[in-house]
Amino acid sequence: MNGSSTPDGKKFSSRDFFKFLIPSLIGIMFFIVPISSEEGFTIPIAFLSNLLIDWIGGIVPALAVIMMGISILGSLLLFTARPAFIVERPSINALFSVTPFWFVMRIIGFIAGVMTLLAVGPEMITSEFTGGLLLFDLIPILFATFFFAGMLLPLLLNFGLLEFVGTFLMKIMRPLFRLPGRASLDSLASWVGDATIGILLTTKQYEEGYYTKREASIIATTFSVVSITFTIVVLQYMRLDQYFLPYYGAIILSGLVAALIMPRIYPLSKKADTAYEETELQPEEDVPSDTSLSKWALIQALQKSRSSKSFFETLKDGFKNVLDMWLGVLPVVMAVGTIAVVIAEYTPFFTILGKPFEPILMFLQVPEAAAAAQTMVVGFADMFLPAVLGSEIESEMTRFVIATLSVTQLIYMSEVGGLLLGSKLPISFLDLVLIFLLRTFITLPIIVGIAHLVF
C-alpha cells in the first residue's frame, strides 16, 4: 500500500487494505450475490434464514412474544426505577428508551401476540387471517432474517465499502439529485443499510450543519429505503425468491427515477436552503486537486478500515443490531400489522381508499387489479402490509408489482414516518402523505413495465 497514505502523510499498511477488502467482499457475497437453491435463485441471507426457520420455526412465535414482553418490561423499568444497568449503558438504554406513543404500540403488539399465541380473545384478532397471519407466518421470517442480517450487516457498513463506492458517486450527486457530494455516503448507508440508519445519519449531519433543510429533507424521504434485509423478507413472504435480481433491479431503477424527480417538485423543492437554526452551514470538502478520484476513494475506504473495531467489537455491534430489531421492530409490526389486517378483513376501509387505483392497474394490464388495488395505500401504515394483504393473489406478476412498490413507496408510519416526525427535520405529516402518494404514482408505471418484461 505504498501508493496510498492518509491526508496527514501516514502510509497505509497491507493490513488496512485487507481489513477493507475481505469483510467487504464477504458482505457483498452474503447480501447481494445470488445462489442456486431447491426453490430457485436466492441470496445467502435468505437461504440461511430459511434453514433457521426449518430448524426452530415451531418455537419462534413464543420466542417473539417473549421478546415483545422484554421490550415492555425494559421500558417500564427505564421510565420508573431507572436501574443503573440500563441508564448507564447507552446501547441498552437505546433499546428501551421510546416515546409514550411507541411504548403503547409495544403494549398493543404484545397483547395481540399473547392472545394469538394462546388463542384467547376475539376471533377477529386471533384468527389465521389476522393475528395468526402475523405471528405464525410473518414473525418467524422476520425473526430469522433479522438474526443473520443484523449480525452480518457490519460487514457492509463498518470496513470502508460505503466510503469507497460513495466517493465515486460524489461527482454526480449535485447535478442529478441536488445534493452535496457527502450525501452520497449518507444515501448509500440509507439504501444499503436501513432506513433507520439513514434517518439517524441525516438528522445528525443536519444538526451539525452539513445539510440545509432542503437537502436533509430530500435525503431522509428519498434515499431512506428499507434495508436489503426487509426487501428479502418481502420477497420470501410473497414466494418470489427466484426473482430477486429483477426485483431488486426494479427497486433501484424506480427508486432512482423517483430520486431524480422528487427533489424538483413540491413539497421538497420548496424547503428552505438554510441551515438548522442552532448551527452554521459547513462548507463541503472536495476531492483534493492533486489526488485522483480512485485514489481518494481508496484512501477514504482504508481510513475507515483502519479505524474499524476489532472482530469481537464488530460481533457485539451485530448482536446489538439483532436485539434492536427483535425488541424494537417485532412488537410494532405485530401491533400495526394486526390492526391493519383486522381493518382490511372486517371493514371496506382499504378497499375504498384503493378503489381509484383499480382503473389505473387495469389500464397498465396488471392481473387481479381489484385485489391489488387495496394494497396500493395500506403501505403508508406499515411497509409489510401490502405483502400481507397481497400474498394470496395468484398472479406472480401482480405479487411482484406489490412487493416492489411497497418498498419504493418508502414512507411508512410504523418506522420511517414516526422517526421523521420525531426528529428535528422540517417535515410535517402532510408532507409525508403527499410524498408517499407522489412516489406511488411515479414508480408504479416503471415497476409494472419491468414486471411485464419479467413475466
SS3 readout for 57-93: HHHHHHHHHHHHHHHHHHHHHHHCCCCHHHHCCHHHH
Residue written as cell 402518494?
A: 437
Cell numbers at residue 127, please?
384468527
Q: State pTM to two decimals.
A: 0.69
Q: Identify the pLDDT of residue 217.
A: 93
Cβ atoms of 214 and 272 closer than 8 Å: yes
Segment (H or E) for 37: strand 35-37
Helix (H, G, I), strand (E, B) or coil at 239: coil
Residue written as cell 417485532?
A: 330
Measured CA to CA, the distance from residue 66 to residue 76 in angstroms comes to 15
418 by Cβ neighbours in 10 Å (0-12 / 13-18 / 19+) ranks as: middle
Helix (H, G, I), strand (E, B) or coil at 441: helix
Q: Identify the pLDDT of residue 63.
A: 94
For 64: left if phi > 0, alpha if psi spans -120 to 50, otherwise beta; the answer is alpha
Helix (H, G, I), strand (E, B) or coil at 289: coil
In sequence order, the β-bridge partners of residue 41 are 36
Q: Which residues have C-beta within 8 Å of that of residue 215, sequence separation ≥ 6?
A: 178, 179, 180, 183, 206, 273
Cβ atoms of 224 and 201 closer than 8 Å: no
For 287: left if phi > 0, alpha if psi spans -120 to 50, otherwise beta; the answer is beta
DSSP sequence for 309-375:
PPHHHHHHHHHHHHHHIIIIIHHHHHHHHHHHHHHHHHSSHHHHHHTTHHHHHHHTT-SSHHHHHTT
Measured CA to CA, the distance from residue 106 to residue 71 in angstroms comes to 7
Q: Identify the pLDDT of residue 289.
A: 77
Digitized pLDDT (tens) for each residue of the chain, 455 residues in all: 555 655 555 678 888 889 899 998 998 888 777 777 666 566 788 788 888 888 988 899 999 999 999 999 999 988 888 887 788 787 788 788 888 888 998 999 999 999 999 999 999 999 988 889 889 988 888 888 888 878 887 887 788 887 787 778 777 887 888 887 777 766 766 665 556 667 767 887 788 788 899 999 998 898 877 767 678 888 888 989 889 889 989 999 999 999 999 999 999 999 999 988 878 877 666 778 778 888 888 888 888 888 877 778 888 888 887 888 888 888 888 888 888 788 878 888 888 888 999 999 999 999 999 999 989 998 888 788 898 889 889 999 999 999 999 999 988 876 677 778 767 889 988 999 999 999 999 999 999 999 999 99
256 by Cβ neighbours in 10 Å (0-12 / 13-18 / 19+) ranks as: middle
294 by Cβ neighbours in 10 Å (0-12 / 13-18 / 19+) ranks as: exposed
Cα 431 versus chain centre, distance? 20
Cell numbers at residue 431, please?
408532507
Q: Identify the pLDDT of residue 230.
A: 74
Q: Identify the pLDDT of residue 188.
A: 65
